[in-house]
Chains A and B, each alone.
Chain A
Amino acid sequence: MKLNAKSPEGVLAEKWDKHKFNIKLVNPANKRKYDIIVVGTGLAGASAAASLAELGYNVKSFCFQDSPRRAHSIAAQGGINAAKNYQNDGDSVFRLFYDTIKGGDYRSREANVYRLSQVSVNIIDQCVAQGVPFAREYGGLLDNRSFGGAQVSRTFYAKGQTGQQLLLGAYQALSRQVANGKVKLYPRTEMLELVIKEGKARGIVVRNLITGEIESHSAHAVLLCSGGYGNVFYLSTNAMGSNATASWRAHRKGAFFANPCFTQIHPTCIPVSGSYQSKLTLMSESLRNDGRVWVPKKIEDAEAIRQGKKTPEDIKEEERDYYLERRYPSFGNLVPRDVASRNAKYVCDEGRGVGKTGLAVYLDFRDAILREGRKVVESQLIEYNGSVKEYEKAKGKPYDELIYVEGKKIIEAKYGNLFDMYQRITDDNPYETPMMIYPAVHYTMGGLWVDYNLMTSVEGLYALGEANFSDHGANRLGASALMQGLADGYFVIPYTIGDYLAKIGHADKLDTADEAFKEAETEVKARIEKLLAIKGEKSVDDFHRELGKIMWEYCGMSRNAEGLKYAKGKIQELRKEFWSNVKVTGENDELNQTLEKALRVADFMELGELMIDDALDREESCGGHFREEFQTEEGEALRNDEDYAYVSAWAYKGENQPHELHKEQLTFENVKLTQRSYK
């Protein structure tokens, strides 16, 4: 099957406008005759549901949390990109497009990324109009910062809570439509199956998480906005409930899964502290602007630290290895996420990791504190005619201490809330001793394959936000996921869905009494009964932890063919064991959190295997996907554009059958493919 991405013809900058003009419109009076299901209430789902309801469609909105406002998007910290060029520093739609394509290591589709950059400016206007309290400058205009090594300041933010504020904006817009009667909310409701008839998505089967009832919902189109699948790894920065079930069930029914092996591992997370660890906490990327990353040069020193015989302060300057600064003199501590993560792994693999487990590196603010402190103190010293004595006398403290105190104030103003959070979790004071960090799974670039209209390979089924694969290629830039989620929901789907709905007409909808629904319901019930009947020995978390370990070890920061093949076998064994030895207590007809987890972990295991297939197929290194066999002499990622400039789109072929690979060839007409270099 040849995949048709439906990228419009013509000049890049005109594609979207032309496309909007060419697609069919639904007559305003007819919109109320169409029903749309939106699974997910994160940035993508809430913005889509609200916007579609405003247009007049009838929307049903689903989430598994107790309120739409709690979707995982709420946790995003850093910010959202937009090509507003408010700072007059040379940003433009084209620059954001270019940075995103290049950052994604040339594995995304030009037309989609350009559109994303175009609508980014509308997002900010929309959010401000909704009352999102973005940070502002003294003049009352919006403030920006530079994020993730970008060379322009295009990131808008609301303290360290940008995701929260954007989501509340979308949630409020959604709430307004609930009040208008155009959206019906289904919180604590989980989609467990997609219903298809005659090749078209017709609705979904859900479980009411409080009563356990299995219900069918029918619609003219189904939108999956169900987030990413980082929790395949068990430990990640994702929320505990984030899962792949909606996407995976749709995949089993015919939706292709694209680039599943493209996962993003974030370099600055709080390290694992024990086997009971349930999730990992992100420390904002911005910390790398001032923190210096290091480990001891000597393995003996690292060992002594691990055993508690030495502290970081005991390691003299010349005994420290600031390995990012050493290896990447021009970018230093600000190399992209994938590079920083991989290097942390290398030094820990060498035995130079710190912390109790040896799986941590230092992020040290000492020099930043002293540097900033010196600036302040030197400027104050002028008032005392440059006399240190006078100055010390007036301030009542020794000079060196004054430098520290003043420097600490500056660092506190910048990162105070992050330092507090770190101290709350680790009980260490990062002003006095270096932070410890380690990479953790953070985001999944892969997802359901979609065309330019965000439609999957199943007609009438769409995927938005992190659930699709569309815009970030092999690596996502910081502050671009929020942008993409809202672009999809506010500014793309409201147009593109009309084309399909107008084509099928409002009569083309299935009754939930149809056998297609009944069959899907039966399938779901059987799956649940099967799980409850196993009554094995091991908990769902036991299996999930094991799966995570396999994935992290063999399909994490770096991969090789041998390891991947081994891991595939391991997962198959684990899956078998799961279906014969998992213990799920309780019944279906009640709030049963163990059952919820079991259903999700069962799907994670299948997806894990596909991620491995994909990683095996891609015999090159690009972005977050690092194949050890394919690296330059200096140990950097070696891309192979000749053979691998494609999107892998995998088709499900049945239980225990190998997946089938379809390739969407990527063509680049507006950018030149270059090798990323941060030396």
Chain B
Amino acid sequence: MNLTLKIWRQKNNKEKGKMVTYKVQDISDDMSFLEMMDVLNEELLKKGEEPVAFDHDCREGICGMCSMYINGHPHGPERTTTCQLHMRSFKDGDTITIEPWRAKGFPVVKDLVVDRSAFDRIIQAGGFVSVNTGVSVDANEIPIAKDVASEAMDAATCIGCGACVAACKNASAMLFVSAKISHLGLLPQGKTEKNRRVQRMIAQMDAEEFGACTNTGACAAECPKSISLVNIARMNREYFAAKVASEA
């Protein structure tokens, strides 16, 4: 198939960007979206133009590195990551618009590459269990009900790609933050510090200038890993409980 691509080009963080139109030919259905981008980049390179910069690594939908905003949706039309999107989701003659994640908390680095280090700082604020290496408690000492473990696992499945932020009109990071709070808060190992965790992570989230949550649910609808809105509700509950506890 032949396609028209409208791609955001921006030299760096300081200069202004703009949409640039490209054509690609003979794209096969079996190609992944990123392989289609590889084809474009090879052509640009051979013409002596600069290839489009984009983030990617595993190309298996798990590292969370790929991050294209395609036709108005983070990761495009299917509920998966950009790297797992295949060209059979498009048809000959289509025009595809490709932009970076857009959010105050994720400044553009170049072209389609953004800076997501805010997510790392939120985890640093409290997204962990405070144990040092060398614990001597046997792993089976504390049984955990199967359904609790799998609920924690579902929340822990978040790949930290930032699609939730990109999907939200307020650029809120609530889904990402709540997934980690749920994962750890559900498990006995993480319960002890849950008040401190939720307060610190939310404070950091605010400091990174992510927007407020207005419960539109776009984040969960677009999440490639189907992280549920239940996590946000759980985080809110934990947050208020922690507030009350710290004020009492």
Central interface residue in B86, B88, B124, by most chain A CB within 10 Å: B124
Interface segment out of the listed A90-98, A173-181, A524-532: A173-181
In the complex, the answer to whether A136 meets B144 with C-beta atoms within 8 Å is yes
Q: How far, in whole Å, are A586 and B109 apart by their CA atoms in the complex?
A: 16
Q: Let me know if B137 is at the binding interface, CB within 8 A.
A: yes
Q: How far, in whole Å, are A128 and B137 apart by their CA atoms in the complex?
A: 9
A126 and B146 contact, Cβ closer than 8 Å, known pairs A276-B31, A424-B86, A590-B110: no
In the complex, the answer to whether B117 meets A585 with C-beta atoms within 8 Å is no
Q: How far, in whole Å, are A539 and B42 apart by their CA atoms in the complex?
A: 7
A185 and B120 contact, Cβ closer than 8 Å, known pairs A136-B146, A590-B12: yes
In the complex, the answer to whether A279 meets B59 with C-beta atoms within 8 Å is yes
Q: Let me know if B219 is at the binding interface, CB within 8 A.
A: no
Residues of A within 8 A of B56 (CB): 240
In the complex, the answer to whether A591 meets B189 with C-beta atoms within 8 Å is no
Residues of B within 8 A of A210 (CB): 109-110
Q: Let me know if A66 is at the binding interface, CB within 8 A.
A: yes
Closest to B13 in A: A210
In the complex, the answer to whether A131 meets B184 with C-beta atoms within 8 Å is yes
In the complex, the answer to whether A133 meets B156 with C-beta atoms within 8 Å is yes
A126 and B51 contact, Cβ closer than 8 Å, known pairs A66-B116, A539-B42, A591-B113: no
In the complex, the answer to whether A585 meets B48 with C-beta atoms within 8 Å is yes
Q: How far, in whole Å, are A424 and B133 apart by their CA atoms in the complex?
A: 40
State the total of A-B contacts with C-beta under 8 angstroms.
213
Return A269 CB to nearest CB of chain B, in Å. Answer: 11
In the complex, the answer to whether A583 meets B131 with C-beta atoms within 8 Å is no
A140 and B145 contact, Cβ closer than 8 Å, known pairs A69-B64, A175-B128: yes
In the complex, the answer to whether B120 meets A67 with C-beta atoms within 8 Å is yes
Return B159 CB to nearest CB of chain A, in Å. Answer: 8
Closest to A64 in B: B57
In the complex, the answer to whether A490 meets B58 with C-beta atoms within 8 Å is no
Q: How far, in whole Å, are A134 and B34 apart by their CA atoms in the complex?
A: 32
In the complex, the answer to whether A66 meets B128 with C-beta atoms within 8 Å is no
Residues of A within 8 A of B45 (CB): 539, 583, 585, 594
In the complex, the answer to whether A494 meets B133 with C-beta atoms within 8 Å is yes
Q: Let me know if A172 is at the binding interface, CB within 8 A.
A: yes
In the complex, the answer to whether A276 meets B51 with C-beta atoms within 8 Å is no
Q: How far, in whole Å, are A86 and B138 apart by their CA atoms in the complex?
A: 11
In the complex, the answer to whether B132 meets A54 with C-beta atoms within 8 Å is yes
In the complex, the answer to whether B183 meets A131 with C-beta atoms within 8 Å is yes
Residues of A within 8 A of B231 (CB): none
Residues in B25-53 with C-beta less than 8 Å from chain A:
28-32, 34-35, 38-39, 42, 45-46, 48-51, 53
Return B149 CB to nearest CB of chain A, in Å. Answer: 4
Return A272 CB to nearest CB of chain B, in Å. Answer: 10
Q: How far, in whole Å, are A134 and B46 apart by their CA atoms in the complex?
A: 48
Return A460 CB to nearest CB of chain B, in Å. Answer: 22
Chain A interface size range: 35 or more
Interface segment out of the listed A70-78, A366-374, A665-673: A70-78
Q: How far, in whole Å, are A240 and B63 apart by their CA atoms in the complex?
A: 11
Residues in B54-101 with C-beta less than 8 Å from chain A:
55-65, 80, 84, 86, 88
Q: How far, in whole Å, are A130 and B129 apart by their CA atoms in the complex?
A: 5
Q: Let me know if B248 is at the binding interface, CB within 8 A.
A: no
Residues in A228-259 with C-beta less than 8 Å from chain B:
239-241
Return B208 CB to nearest CB of chain A, in Å. Answer: 14
Closest to A84 in B: B139
Interface segment out of the listed A156-164, A376-384, A498-506: A156-164
Closest to A427 in B: B88
Return A227 CB to nearest CB of chain B, in Å. Answer: 11
- Which of B32, B62, B110 is within 8 Å of A74, CB to CB? B62
In the complex, the answer to whether A591 meets B109 with C-beta atoms within 8 Å is yes
In the complex, the answer to whether A273 meets B50 with C-beta atoms within 8 Å is no
Closest to B131 in A: A129
Residues of B within 8 A of A112 (CB): none
Residues in B185-200 with C-beta less than 8 Å from chain A:
187, 189-190
A69 and B160 contact, Cβ closer than 8 Å, known pairs A131-B184, A240-B56, A539-B46: yes
Q: Let me know if B3 is at the binding interface, CB within 8 A.
A: no
Q: Let me know if B242 is at the binding interface, CB within 8 A.
A: no
Closest to B46 in A: A539
In the complex, the answer to whether A70 meets B57 with C-beta atoms within 8 Å is yes
In the complex, the answer to whether B62 meets A591 with C-beta atoms within 8 Å is no
Q: Let me know if A137 is at the binding interface, CB within 8 A.
A: yes
A591 and B187 contact, Cβ closer than 8 Å, known pairs A159-B153, A178-B124, A585-B48: no
Closest to B185 in A: A131
Return A284 CB to nearest CB of chain B, in Å. Answer: 12
A281 and B60 contact, Cβ closer than 8 Å, known pairs A274-B31, A583-B46: yes
In the complex, the answer to whether B65 meets A173 with C-beta atoms within 8 Å is no
Q: How far, in whole Å, are A172 and B156 apart by their CA atoms in the complex?
A: 12
In the complex, the answer to whether B117 meets A128 with C-beta atoms within 8 Å is no
Q: Let me know if A425 is at the binding interface, CB within 8 A.
A: yes
Central interface residue in A124, A164, A427, by most chain B CB within 10 Å: A164
- Which of B59, B123, B159 is within 8 Å of A172, CB to CB? B123
Return A46 CB to nearest CB of chain B, in Å. Answer: 11
In the complex, the answer to whether A142 meets B30 with C-beta atoms within 8 Å is no
Q: Let me know if A400 is at the binding interface, CB within 8 A.
A: no
In the complex, the answer to whether A241 meets B140 with C-beta atoms within 8 Å is no
Q: Let me know if A65 is at the binding interface, CB within 8 A.
A: yes
In the complex, the answer to whether B51 meets A70 with C-beta atoms within 8 Å is no
Residues of B within 8 A of A425 (CB): 32, 84, 86
Residues of B within 8 A of A179 (CB): 124-125
Q: Let me know if B21 is at the binding interface, CB within 8 A.
A: no
A274 and B30 contact, Cβ closer than 8 Å, known pairs A585-B45, A591-B53: yes
Q: Which 4 A-B pairs have the closest CB atoms?
A: A140-B143, A172-B128, A133-B153, A51-B133
Question: Beyond the given A65-B63, A126-B135, A173-B128, could you list 9 further A-B residue pairs with CB under 8 A, ordered by the A residue number?
Answer: A69-B123, A74-B62, A74-B63, A133-B183, A175-B120, A490-B133, A539-B42, A539-B45, A590-B110
Some 22 contacts from A to B, beta carbons below 8 A apart, are A54-B132, A54-B133, A66-B65, A67-B119, A69-B123, A75-B63, A125-B139, A131-B129, A131-B184, A136-B143, A136-B146, A136-B149, A141-B143, A172-B123, A173-B133, A179-B125, A187-B117, A240-B58, A277-B35, A278-B38, A585-B50, A591-B53
| A residues at B contact (CB < 8 Å) | 47, 50-51, 54, 65-70, 72, 74-75, 84, 86, 122, 124-131, 133-142, 158-159, 161, 164-165, 168, 171-173, 175-176, 178-179, 185, 187, 210, 239-241, 273-274, 276-279, 281, 421, 424-427, 490-491, 494, 537, 539, 541, 583, 585-586, 590-591, 593-594
